[in-house]
Amino acid sequence: MFYPLRKVVGLSAIVLAVFACWFSSGISGGAAEPAAGTLIVHPADGARMVYVPAGKFIMGLAEAEANVVAQHLGAKDAATLWAWDCYPRRTVELPGYFIDECEATVARWKQFVAVTGHKTKFKETTRHFDHPEAQSLPAGEITWDEAKAYARWAGKALPTDAQWEKAARGTDGRLYPWGNDAPTPDHGHIGAKGKQPPLYTQVGSYPKGRSPYGVLDLIGNQYEWTADWLVPYPGNPQAEKMRDYGRVVSLRGGSWYHGWVGFYAAKRFGFKPDETYYHVGFRTVWTPPAGYFDSPEFARDRAAAAGTETVPPSPIYRASVAPVIDGKLDDPCWKQAVPVAVAFPFAAPGQRTQPPPVTARFAWDERYLYIAYEVNDTNLVAIASGRESGPPGNRRPMSEEYLPEKKLDLVEFFISFGSVRTFWEIHHNAANHLNNLGIELPTAEALAKIPKPSYKDVTFHRERYVDDDGAFTVARAVQLKPRADGRPSTVNDPSDRDTGYAGEIRLPWAGLGAPAERRRADGSYDLKGLRLPLLAAVLNGNTGDAVYHSSAPYLPTIMFHFSVALWPRYELVDAPK
């Protein structure tokens, strides 16, 4: 719960807190300060951190500015917005420091727990430990003491209110991390105005919301603990309105849960120190020691950040031996491939179906992208459309795409080479029908004028298909799983209870349209290091309704086609030794 604080702590406590912060911050003498936004990887916890240089900045708001924010956020005025905790607008000076680029993640909390043996008080973060796709979600339901314990373990600290706000606003007094324009759903995990977004999402998903220093997720997603108590700033003309707030800690950034009232950079909220909820996380700051900037350690930490990403892609391993496309999934490449759970219901963010309706795997070599998957389904339904696609000599019967009234089942793979407008949509089913549709979306300018994009806004090029590349051809296969009585599952027979099937698909890189500059003289492709947005999905019609699951845990409640920027990312790499 949000507690509007109202108790004023004595001025002496404020002075001591500010003095302690300044005293502990130190100065990294020697070499000149690095540029704003200089990126390092912190050696203790592996977090990407960006540099905020020493100097003055504008902290807090004047009431006239708060009234502008209120208009942006849909409130009547600053008083309706409860903006008095931001007053007054003033100039504050800070030493330089590094701050985490993103909120602390599940992966980083898991590392902290593994190293220290810490017993996490609540389960919101630990419930994700065993799910690879959830490692880039922000830690949640973390208490203030736990956040401080993590910071101490890493040799860092929670940010003061001033450190957090400078990282968000820069030195020009902007209202939001990105500037003075009103927030939009592209700026952070905030949802549409007046509509709560679905749970939290993976960190770093909203680059348009980055601050002048390159800090992400400062508005929306999780609340973030600071090091400070929520008390009136010195000189606040409306300090009496905070008199009954109680003794609570300052939280920053708003949260997806509490809505637009908190989505501006000067806003503070407050929770009791022992209080937390699943929409509460944190990030840390680090003040480098004297001499750091001309030390080998700085060179090491900066070099470690080169080529890293906010959210690293998942690996797709090279197949040393091409798999036999027979639906058996007994090839070496499938044994080493990372399993991908297609377990996240559409329009139910945060929920997970067990066992997963589909588990997929991917592999590659210089000629092909390989896809394997296993389906768990008690009533297999596959319906031919009567159409075919493919080149002469390799025509493939196609499936119906959407018939919930007939309990249709379909496994789908969306494959992009980085474009958010054009990509492939591949369908496969238990009868070995294969669809490959070329997808085209409107331009960004056209989409911006569509309140809620839908099926009618997608161009499905059904005349297109993934072509063969000479002797390198598209192939597909299925194997039905045995039922409890040992006999194989059946297709389109509702009288028995199926268990599912396994499928394999082989797609030539040339037919998919891999980058031409990566093609060698012999026709093969040098694709090591290539990044691919790739989404696996499944339509299960058992209930007589269209029930979709995907491999992305926190997609917005719109068609998969319009969320390419949030699809899982993969990188083609060599197989581990």
Residue 338 is which amino acid? V
Asked if 4 and 270 count as a contact pair (C-beta separation under 8 A), the reply is yes
Consecutive 10-residue runs of the chain (577 residues): their mean pLDDT? 30 32 42 91 96 98 97 93 95 98 96 97 91 86 98 98 98 96 88 72 88 96 97 95 91 90 94 94 97 95 87 90 97 94 81 88 98 95 95 95 87 94 96 96 86 90 95 98 88 91 98 97 96 93 79 78 86 90
Task: Read off the tokens for 174.
Answer: 């902007």
Task: Read off the tokens for 115.
Answer: 């190293």
Q: Residue 196: its pLDDT value, please? A: 67
Enumerate residues 6+ apart whose C-beta is below 8 A from 117: none
Task: Read off the tokens for 441.
Answer: 């979306």
The contacts found for 524-531 with CB under 8 angstroms, 24 or more apart, are 524/366, 524/367, 525/366, 525/367, 526/366, 527/364, 527/366, 527/572, 528/318, 528/572, 528/573, 528/574, 529/571, 529/572, 529/573, 530/417, 530/571, 530/572, 531/313, 531/418, 531/569, 531/570, 531/571
495-533: b (≥16 Cβ within 10 Å) or e? eeebbbbbbbbbbbbbbbbbeeeebeeeebbebeebebb
**Rounded to two decimals, what is the model's pTM?**
0.66
Closest CA to 72 of 218, 260, 251, 255: 260
Q: Residue 352: its pLDDT value, please? A: 80
Angstrom distance (rounded) from CA 241 to CA 5:
9
Give me the phi and psi of 2, to 5 degrees please. Answer: -85, 130
Torsion of CA 562, 563, 565, 566, to 10 degrees: 180
Asked if 227 and 157 count as a contact pair (C-beta separation under 8 A), the reply is yes
Task: Read off the tokens for 110.
Answer: 């898991």
Asked if 58 and 170 count as a contact pair (C-beta separation under 8 A), the reply is no
Q: Residue 373: its pLDDT value, please? A: 98
Phi-psi region of 391 (alpha: psi -120 to 50; beta: other; left: phi over 0): beta
Q: Residue 543: its pLDDT value, please? A: 67
Q: Residue 257: its pLDDT value, please? A: 87
Catalogue all structural domains in the chain, each as residue range(s) with its CATH number.
11-299 (3.90.1580.10), 314-573 (2.60.40.1190)
